[in-house]
Structures are given as C-alpha cells and as structure tokens.
Structure 1
Amino acid sequence: MRLRGTRTSSNIEDRRRSGGGGRMIGGGLGLGGVLVVLAIGWFTGIDVTPILNGAAAPQTQQTTRELSAEEEQAGVFVSQVLASTEDVWGEVFPQQVGEAYQPPRLVMFSQVTSSPCGGASGATGPFYCPLDQKAYLDTDFFNTLSRQLGAEGDFAAAYVIAHEVAHHVQNQLGILDQVDSYRRGATEAQGNAATVRLELQADCLSGVWAAHVDALLEPGDIDEAVNAARMIGDDRLQRRAGRVPQPHTFTHGTSEQRSRWFTTGYTSGEITSCDTFNAREL
C-alpha cells in the first residue's frame, strides 16, 4: 500500500505507553500457542478461557514504557490507513447516503485497556464500541495476523482497520441498533445468524473503501485482503482449533463468504451492494 507522504489522522488515541506490560501467557502453551488460541477466540466467538487457564492464569502488569521502533511504525501505519478511511467515507457517505460522515476515533492499546463496551485485552482482538464510537486495536495483532494466521501483507492489516471502521459506518446508518434490538429477543442461533450478516456487511463495506483508494494500491494488495478474509473465516478457525465447523455458532461467516463479500464491495464501490440482510444466500 502506497502510504509514504500521505496524511495521518488526528482521530487517534494512543494508550500503548501506559498499557499492560506483561503478556497474557498460559503455562505450557508458549507465546506462539497462546497467540493461535487467542486468534481463534477473536474471530469465532469460542470461549478460549478454559484453554488458557489449563496451566496458569494470565497475568498482566501495568507499566509506563517507551514504544519500540516497530510499534512506532505500526502507529503511523494505523493513523495513515485511518486517514484514508476518513477521506473515502467523507466523500462516499454524502454521495451515496446523502448525509455527512462523522469519523470515529481509533484507540491503539497494548494488551489491556477499558471501553464503555467492557474491558479489552489482546484476547478480544480489534473491535468497535458504538457507545463511544471508537475502534479499539492492539497493534500486536498485526503480527498474529501475519505470522500465526497466514494473512500476510500491509493491505491485510489495512483491511482489518477498514473492517472496524465499517462497523462505525453501520452505526451511522442505524444498522447496529437494529441488529442489537433483534438479538435481544432472538435465540442464540438466531442472534449468531444476524451477527454473521452484520460482519459480512462490514467486510463488503471494507471492499467499498478499497475500491476508492486505487491511488494507494500496489500490485497484490487486493489479493492480500481477500486472503486475510479467507484466513479468518469461522470454518477455517474452528478447524484450526481442532473442531468440526458448526455453522450455528458462526459469528463472522465462512472463509468463502467473507472473501466474496469483500470482493463484492470492491467490485461495485457501492454501499447498496452490501445489503447482506436482504440477501437470500450469503
């Protein structure tokens, strides 16, 4: 992704210097094993606490520290990608929705932080909190995405950021409230099915963003995003966890669905192409 010389966003809140200093490491798993287990939990909704607590309880330590060169670089990258989403949605939203776009803030944290939606840790993965209209991201996740999940490349990481911003777009459109209201009166399986449609729509909206950053794209970028979507499909992650995929527990969609809806948004560049809620087949 061609980001050299592009602007950074002012809607960044960097908490990494005051984040937890200790890693959440469960006994004999080792750091690599823990990262894989956490990644599975992030994207499938599987409760991985029993796995992590099998050997030892996680420990965290609060410290104030300096950021490493890698973390500084990751922070600039996140800020530049966020700025690109502001530019795209600042134009697309008025054109296609007829309303002004109000960008979210993005909180970068290290290992642990708090939000109005609850406490966050590396185990929660990237998420969007509609209560404060902020996206939350532990930048260490990029290493997990690349090294543990097989989703390599800077545009794979950019796709993750765009996906969380897409939830903010959904919030502005009133979709998050509608889904939340539905889930309160639904069964667990029905609620999961609605969440899958919500997440696939966010994948599609990420594709819409990608369609409007052509000047920043390098050869292979779209392939990186499509691969990332495949690598974090519920079916693949459940298999990675040693489980037979159980569709009624899916919360984000299959690898095929996630990659296809991203591609749908990228091909069309239109918000209207992302109506997963009225799609007969996902």
Structure 2
Amino acid sequence: MSSVLGADQQALIDLVRRYPRLCVLTGAGVSTDSGIPDYRDEKGEWKRPPPMTHQVYMKSHLGRQRYWARSLVGFRLLAHATPGRAHQALAALEAQGFIEGIITQNVDRLHQKAGSRRVVDLHGRADLVRCMQCNLLVRRHVLHDHLATLNPDWVGMEAEIAPDGDAYLDEVDFSTFRLPECPRCGHGILKPDVVFFGDNVPRGRLERAMSILDDSQALLVVGSSLMVFSGFRFARHAASRGMPMACLNRGHTRADALYSLKCEAPIDESLTALLEGLSDVDGSRLMG
C-alpha cells in the first residue's frame, strides 16, 4: 500500500474479512471530496442554517421562490459533480462481492455514476422534479432551463454554494422570481423528488433499504452523523439483530454507542486502503 495504515483502518479491513457482505450506509461526508459541502461539523451541529423543510416548501409561495432562486444559482455544482475516490472504492468493493448494497442519504447519484449497482437513494434524487398534484416527473435540468428563461437576471449570479445544490443569497428580494406551472396539470406544486427535512421516506423505499441490511452480515456507516432518524433507524435495527457495526466518520455521531469500531480517518484514504487490503485475500474470494 502507498501509506502506513492506522490501527483503526487495519481493524476495518480485519472486520470486513470476518464479515464480507456489507450493507453500507453513506451520508454527505462521502461526497465532500467531489466538491459538495456537507451539513454538520464534527460535533454533529449544523455548520450552516438548516435547509428547507417540507412544511415551509408546501405552504409558502415565497419559500418556493427562495428555494428555486437559490437552486438556479447553486445547483450547477451538484449537476456537474463527479465521483470521488470514496465512491469509486465502494463501487469496486461491490463488484468484488464485499458489498451487498448501499443505502445513501445523499441525493447526488454519485454512487451510481461511480458504478455501484444496488443503491437505495433513501432521500430521493435531486436530478428529478415531481408535481405534487398529478405526480408528473421531469428532469431537473429541463426545469432549470425554463427557470432561466423566466428569470434571465438570475443566470450567472455568483454565490457561496451550500449542500445539495443550494446557494447562499443574503439580503436578496425573491418576491419577483417567477415559478413555472406544471406542464401537465397546470396548477400542481413542482418539488424536487427528494425527502425534505420534516417529510417521511416512502414506505417501499424504506423496505428496499431494510432488505439490503437484512441480507448483509455487517453495517458500515460512512460519512454520516446519523443525526436524522431516517438514517439512525438502520443502526438501531442492526443493533437489535446483534449485527457488527463499523463507522468511518470524523466527529460525533448519534450511533457512537452502538459501533464495534469507529474509524476517524479520511474517508477516501480509508476506503481505498480497505479495497487494497481486501485485495490481499485469497483470489477465489474475489471471484465469488
């Protein structure tokens, strides 16, 4: 290997050798090397103002104007992001049979772009927009093109980028920002096809995620503080089954008391080391 492993990184390799079918649960920390900011600091506290909630989005026209104006400025970062070494290592581990599936709290689709095949997008997909009245799905870039046509003065505006394609625009009047109507029903609210804070994960999606966990031998949490219950529930479920759990994340997480191993090292480096370390096992295992 290219560098000396820390004790926790070696322990992670040893754990996966003992339990070679992983369920991997990922959060924002797995995508920071792709240039996408995360939400929380090492204490698990918000780094920035909390994001839009489902209730505000659905009830407030001005809230939706604010959301889409900021998105028109900030989403290009998310749209053009490419997988980092962490995504690539996880895809390679899945291809070699060490990962049963990935449950991701991210909405950036970078796991799929890296080549991971069994992925549950727990919080949905940021590249799609849904009409909340007639259920029409449209590609987000199509909606953004329309937003740019309706609001040409906002195109090219510069701002600090926030998580999930948001942008910080302070002291800006959003009341003149024009929103498009649903192209099919003409009056439904268009919303990103993601689970906003305060909303619930659809039952079928949750069941698919739990199926991956139940088919696995161990749970590996990567880049998530699990402060949101939608992710924490998987650690709690694994603990109830007596399943070994490891975490690769810097700082406090909600499930720290449940882990058998906590590795506070760089995510991309540690997953690359895990891939290289597991490649030293018997070749017949890799062919399985």
TM-score surpassing 0.5? no
TM-score, normalization: structure 1? 0.28
The structure, 1 or 2, with the larger RCO (C-alpha pairs under 8 Å, 6+ apart) is: 2
Answer 1 or 2: which has greater strand percent: 2
**Structure with more of its chain in helix, by fraction:** 1
Larger Rg: 2
